[in-house]
Amino acid sequence: MLRVGLTGGVASGKSTVGKMMEARGAYVIQADLIAHDLMKPGEPLYEEVVKRFGQSIVNKNDLGAIDRAKLGAIVFGEGRIEDLNQLIHPAVIRRQEEWMAEIGRKDPQSIAVVEAALIVEAGVKGRFDKLVVVKCHEAERQKRFVTRAIENGMNEDVAIQRFQAVIAAQMPEDQKLKVADYVIDNSACLDSTEPEVENLMEELRALAMAK
C-alpha cells in the first residue's frame, strides 16, 4: 500500500483534489473529519476540549455537541491554536495510522490518502511514502475562504480576520512546496486541475503496484 499525505494552505482546494483522487480509485480520509468525530460527546477528546476551552463552546441545543464556530472564535481570536493542536493531534494521528493499516490489510496495492492541513507543521511527513502539496495564490485563497464564511453567516470583516489568523498558524506555502514530492496547482479553474490529478494518480498507481 502506498501511504500519501495531501496538504496545502487554507482554502487551497485540498478537499477538492482529494475528491478527484478518490474518484480515480484512491482511499481518502480527512483529518478534520477525524477530529470532528473524536470531539463528539462521549468521545475521550470531548471532555478534554471542553475543560480546556470552557462550557461556552457547548451547544446545548445539539445534545451538548461542541460548537465548532465558537471553538474557532476562541482558538483563532485568542491565539490558542497550539492549545487545541496539542490536544487533538496525537489522537488524530493514531486514528490515521489505524485507518491506513486497515486499508493495507484490505487492499495491499492500494493508495491511502490522508488529507490534512498540518502534515508538515506537525512533523508527521515521515509517516507517508509521498507528500502532495496543493498550491493556490493567497489572494484567491482569501477570496474562497471569505466567500464560504459569508455563506455560513460570518461577517466579511470577521472572515478576513479569521483567514489571516489561520494563515499565521500555518507554514508559508513556499516552505511546504520545498518538501513536496508532488505539487498540484489549484489556482485556476478545476478544468486545469483535473489533468494534473490524473497525471499524479497514474504515477501513484505505478508506485503502489511496485510496493
- Residue bearing cell 478545476: 190
Nearest to residue 52, comparing CAs of 66, 62, 64? 66
pLDDT digits (tens, 9 = 90+) for 110-153: 999 999 999 999 899 999 999 999 999 999 999 999 999 999 99
Share of residues in the chain with pLDDT > 90 (%): 87
pLDDT at 61: 81
Q: How many domains are there within the chain?
A: 1
Q: Residue 112: which domain range? A: 2-204
For residue 210, being part of any structural domain is answered with no
pLDDT at 88: 93
pLDDT digits (tens, 9 = 90+) for 165-203: 999 889 999 999 999 999 999 998 889 999 999 999 999
Give the strand pairing for 130-135 and 27-30.
Answer: unpaired
For residue 211, being part of any structural domain is answered with no
For residue 209, being part of any structural domain is answered with no
Q: Rounded to an integer, what distance in angstroms lies between the CA atom of residue 17 and that of residue 7?
A: 10
For residue 168, being part of any structural domain is answered with yes
For residue 185, being part of any structural domain is answered with yes
Torsional class of 52: left (φ above 0), alpha (ψ -120 to 50), beta (otherwise): alpha
For residue 77, being part of any structural domain is answered with yes
* pLDDT-derived band at 63, boundaries 50, 70, 90: confident
SS3 readout for 118-136: CCCCCCCHHHCCEEEEEEC
What mean pLDDT is predicted for residues 148-165?
94
pLDDT at 130: 98
* pLDDT-derived band at 209, boundaries 50, 70, 90: very high
For residue 88, being part of any structural domain is answered with yes
Query: Is 90 exceeded by the pLDDT of residue 93?
Result: yes
**15: Cβ contacts below 8 Å, ≥ 6 apart:** 30, 115
For residue 176, being part of any structural domain is answered with yes
pTM (global) more than 0.75: yes
Query: Is 80 exceeded by the pLDDT of residue 53?
Result: yes
Q: What is the CA radius of gyration of the chain?
A: 18
User: Following CA atoms 201, 202, 208, 211 in sequence, which dihedral angle do they give, to the nearest 10 degrees?
Assistant: -140
Q: Rounded to an integer, what distance in angstroms lies between the CA atom of residue 41 and that of residue 155?
A: 29
CATH code of the domain containing 33: 3.40.50.300
* pLDDT-derived band at 62, boundaries 50, 70, 90: confident
